[in-house]
Each structure stands twice: as C-alpha cells, then as structure tokens.
Amino acid sequence: MAEKKDIICFCTGTTKQKVIQLIEDGATNIEKISSATGAVTGCAGCDVSIMELLDEYKTQ
C-alpha cells in the first residue's frame, strides 16, 4: 500500500499527504486542490489519483 508521503503529482512534487490535508481542510473538488498546489497543471496525469483521494477522504 502506498504511503501518505508518496508523491502523487510528479510535475509539481505534490504529496498525497498534502492533498489529503487540503481535503480535510475543506477542499471539495480537484480545482481547489489544483489551485492550492499546482497539481494537474502539468501533464494532468495525476487527476485520477487526486479524484480517488477526494472520494476516499472528503467528508461530505
């Protein structure tokens, strides 16, 4: 199983932990995570992984 510290977006070096923290702080969609971290602004290959984290960690 992947570690939370693993990088999820290789273009920006954004970690899973950072994305999970943003979701727990209230980010409800990929646009908010993208604007906070720059993730998805490169190759966009990380979008599916980030959406999976959104599904897993969002509380509403």
Residues that bind ligand FES (CB under 6 A): 9-12, 39-46
- Complex with ligand FES: residue 45 or 60, whichever CB lies closer: 45
- Complex with ligand FES: residue 56 or 59, whichever CB lies closer: 56
Structure tokens at 42: 């490169």
Burial zone of 39 (CB within 10 Å; 0-12 exposed, 13-18 middle, 19+ buried): buried
- Return d(Cα 9, Cα 38) in angstroms, integer: 9
Please report how close the Cβ of residue 59 comes to ligand FES at its closest, in angstroms: 24
- Complex with ligand FES: residue 26 or 42, whichever CB lies closer: 42
